[in-house]
Chain A
Amino acid sequence: MTMTRRATLGALAASPLLASPAVHAQAPTEIVFNYPIAVGGPIPRLIDGYCEEFARENPRFRIKPIYAGSYQDTLTKTLTAMRGGDAPQLACLLAVDIFTLIEEDAILAWEDMAGVEKPWLDGFYPGFMENSRARGKTWGIPFQRSTIVTYWNKEAFREAGLDPETPPQNWAQQVEFAQKLTKRQGDNVTQWGIQIPSSGFPYWLFQGLTTQADVRLMNADGNRTFFNDPKVAEALQYWMDLSQRHRVHPGGIVEWGTTPRDFFERKTAMMWTTTGNLTNVRRNAPFPFGVGMLPAGRRLGSPTGGGNLYVFKSANAAQREGAVRFARFLTTPERAAHWGIETGYVAVTPAAFETPAMRAYVADFPAAAVARDQLPHAVAELSTHENQRVTKALNDNLQAGLLGRKQAGPAMADAQAEAERILRRYR
């Protein structure tokens, strides 16, 4: 029996005429795609839908989407699988993981793959590409990206005698507005003027302040930080003063997760948070609200945030081709617009904002365009080699400042000393 089967196979292989249809009937190339969920809504259904649509248009490839938890979980799962010899071919991970992934020798530069052309790579907002390029190459394709904006309660503005249509334009005005908006009953505050969350990843919101103070936190190679620049301390001092001097911002650490809820419940009249919250706020705020750019210090500014698409070295030639096609498929203007509207993430290309669907959406909900208009002023999110350790050094010292345990200057000097120690060997 075995002999006959072998003989048949031999005959098949020997005859190109017979063998070629067999090649065509091959199963489609499978591409494993790990993705995280960081906003509410039916994300798995959306992703599954995209994958099915892609399979219909490209029958040679099949994307296998795998939900992998939060961004942190997705990185853990992906790297564990990789070290176990079982890496996915495509993953959506934080844009700031770029140096970690390059160091692990895990990912491919997009330019090194067939089917990647310069016009496509240049079609994204430059603000998003800052975190996606290193060493002269592009490692990540912007996919679910966000930035920080101000949300304000128009009712509270009216009550405080402020123009409900205008958010604060600069730092001084932000303090002034917040003073008018803070409601006190004896020693108790029933409504704070402003909340800037400081739990979990305070460095990200802090970067809004430092960018406005016109200073960069790190170099493009990710091996040097500038935490001890006087302007950085100035930014921290401003943040500390909001609560410690002006008393318009809750003292201590402000929770990221509950800040939107504080806003809905009128415990704060203004908040800084991600554009990823747009859909959430739109659905749950019981009062008219506004969305605006962050106020200017010396300049306007905000960091970008969110996730990029990475291709892993485990992918063979066919899988690489499929991964490139899928990334291009996800970032076509129509699909980028659809993804942005459904999730609240910022559509990643200017072309997406020109699609009829996005135009109609923006006409109905102008807040959706604020993030886009702020993008020209946006900078890369803090990202260095040994990213987790360096950001932890900064986070710990920021929180020490906000808790009143350290002065702004010494806190930032300590953060810089720690970052120096970690980064020295990468130069």
Chain B
Amino acid sequence: MSGRIGSIVEHAAAWLLGLVWVAPLLYAVWAAIHPQGYSTRFELFAPLTLENFAAAWDAAPFARYFLNTFILVTMVLVAQFVLCTLAAFVFARSEFRGSGLLFGLVLLQLMIMPDVLLVENYRSMRALGLVDTILAIGLPYMASAFGIFLLRQTFKQIPRELEEAARVEGCGTMAILLRVYVPLAKPTYLAYGLTSVSYHWNNFLWPLVITNTVETRPLTVGLSVFASTDQGIDWAIISAATLMTSAPLLLGFLMFQRQFVQSFMRAGIR
């Protein structure tokens, strides 16, 4: 009996948390599909409209921005997977002089806010002749300390027996990495990939600073046109623009929700 009450309470709490989480999203949908006057007035039969989306789409070259953001997150993700996998494998499975110190240095990167490095990163990009390119937005993030750390922990948990068995079967080091370690770390890759994609999808300051033209700028910079501070906030159009730009991420998450949640549980990112 007490067990049932407990489970009811648990369910109620879960629903409540879910509601709190989804409320801003529901509000954004409400504001986006109604005329401006209804932004803070809730009438069930308020007239519906798609004009806010049309106005938002017109305010900046969003088609190009979508393409840029897509190129950016794909490029960063691929580079991070390759670099972090190789680095993590070394840190997880080989002991050499100074490996502890080296790993410590990598971890140190976790404690530095990227914004502090704004000027230094700008200088590097300028020296490389990369100012105003999509590559420049992604380059400082490719060797991700967080990714290396996460994958190293995952690789360390994989029993050595599997590696030895593979070696007996005649696998080289690279084949062991690709056939044993990577497949077993799939949940970690998925979880890390999601955090990385959503971070770069949302990143604003660095892309704004390092790019100058429509051809290289991501969605967030386009979105900032609506934050016109002198004039106050137009919830309807901001909601429409936000929904529009976050739609791909949101859809992706809803479709693969189960896998994501499981990966997060296993990878230990919360």
Q: Footprint of B on A, CB under 8 Å?
A: 32, 37-40, 42, 44, 64, 66-71, 73, 76-77, 80-81, 83-86, 146, 200, 256-261, 264-265, 273-274, 276-277, 280, 284, 286, 306
Q: Is the Cβ of B40 less than 8 Å from the Cβ of A265?
A: yes
Q: Is the Cβ of B225 less than 8 Å from the Cβ of A37?
A: yes
Q: Is the Cβ of B208 less than 8 Å from the Cβ of A77?
A: yes
Q: A80-B119, A80-B209, A286-B37 are in contact. Are A85 and B126 (CB under 8 A)?
A: yes
Contact partner, B228, options A39, A85, A86, A259, Cβ 8 Å: A39
8 Å CB contacts to A: which residues of B100-144?
Answer: 118-119, 122-123, 125-126, 131
Which residues from chain A contact B227 at a C-beta distance below 8 Å? 70
Q: Is the Cβ of A81 less than 8 Å from the Cβ of B225?
A: no
Q: A70-B224, A81-B209, A261-B40 are in contact. Are A256 and B122 (CB under 8 A)?
A: no
Q: Is the Cβ of A37 less than 8 Å from the Cβ of B122?
A: no
Counting CB contacts under 8 A, is B221 at the interface? Answer: yes
Q: A70-B224, A85-B126 are in contact. Are A80 and B118 (CB under 8 A)?
A: yes
Q: Is the Cβ of A39 less than 8 Å from the Cβ of B208?
A: no
- List 17 other contacts, CB 8 Å, given A80-B122, A261-B39: A37-B228, A38-B228, A38-B229, A38-B231, A39-B228, A40-B228, A44-B60, A69-B208, A76-B205, A80-B118, A83-B122, A84-B123, A86-B131, A258-B232, A260-B232, A261-B233, A264-B37
Find the B residue at minimum CB distance from A81. Answer: B122
CA gap between A73 and B223 in the complex, in Å: 14
CA gap between A265 and B123 in the complex, in Å: 49
Find the A residue at minimum CB distance from B61. Answer: A44
Cβ contacts B15-44/A at 8 Å (1 or 0 each)? 000000000000000000000110111000
Find the A residue at minimum CB distance from B206. Answer: A80
Counting CB contacts under 8 A, is B95 at the interface? Answer: no
Find the B residue at minimum CB distance from A259. Answer: B232
Contact partner, B230, options A32, A44, A81, A277, Cβ 8 Å: A277
Chain B interface residue count: which class? 20 to 34
Q: Is the Cβ of A260 less than 8 Å from the Cβ of B123?
A: no
Q: Footprint of A on B, CB under 8 Å?
A: 36-37, 39-41, 59-60, 118-119, 122-123, 125-126, 131, 205, 208-209, 212-213, 221, 224-235
Find the B residue at minimum CB distance from A68. Answer: B208
Q: Can you report 29 A-B residue pairs in the complex whose CB atoms are below 8 A from each other? A: A32-B212, A37-B224, A37-B228, A39-B228, A39-B231, A40-B226, A44-B60, A67-B221, A73-B205, A76-B118, A80-B119, A83-B119, A83-B123, A84-B125, A84-B126, A85-B123, A86-B126, A256-B232, A257-B232, A258-B232, A259-B232, A260-B231, A261-B232, A261-B235, A265-B40, A273-B232, A274-B230, A276-B231, A280-B232
Find the B residue at minimum CB distance from A65. Answer: B212
CA gap between A427 and B179 in the complex, in Å: 69
Which residues from chain A contact B225 at a C-beta distance below 8 Å? 37, 44, 67
B120 to chain A minimum Cβ distance, whole angstroms, is 8
Which residues from chain B contact A32 at a C-beta distance below 8 Å? 212
Which residues from chain A contact B221 at a C-beta distance below 8 Å? 67, 69
Which residues from chain B contact A274 at a C-beta distance below 8 Å? 230-231
Q: Which of A37, A42, A76, A80 has the most CB of B within 10 A?
A: A80
Q: Is the Cβ of A277 less than 8 Å from the Cβ of B229?
A: no
Contact partner, A146, options B41, B228, B230, B232, Cβ 8 Å: B230
A142 to chain B minimum Cβ distance, whole angstroms, is 15
Which residues from chain B contact A260 at a C-beta distance below 8 Å? 231-232
CA gap between A306 and B36 in the complex, in Å: 27
Find the A residue at minimum CB distance from B125. Answer: A84
Which residues from chain A contact B229 at a C-beta distance below 8 Å? 38, 70-71, 200, 256-257
Which residues from chain B contact A284 at a C-beta distance below 8 Å? 36
CA gap between A200 and B229 in the complex, in Å: 10
Which residues from chain B contact A280 at a C-beta distance below 8 Å? 231-232
Q: A80-B209, A84-B123 are in contact. Are A69 and B233 (CB under 8 A)?
A: no
B237 to chain A minimum Cβ distance, whole angstroms, is 9
Which residues from chain B contact A73 at a C-beta distance below 8 Å? 205, 208, 224
Q: Which of B40, B123, B225 has the most CB of A within 10 A?
A: B225
Find the A residue at minimum CB distance from B222. Answer: A67
Q: Which of A67, A85, A146 has the most CB of B within 10 A?
A: A67
Find the B residue at minimum CB distance from A260. Answer: B232
Contact partner, A86, options B39, B41, B122, Cβ 8 Å: B122
Find the B residue at minimum CB distance from A66. Answer: B212
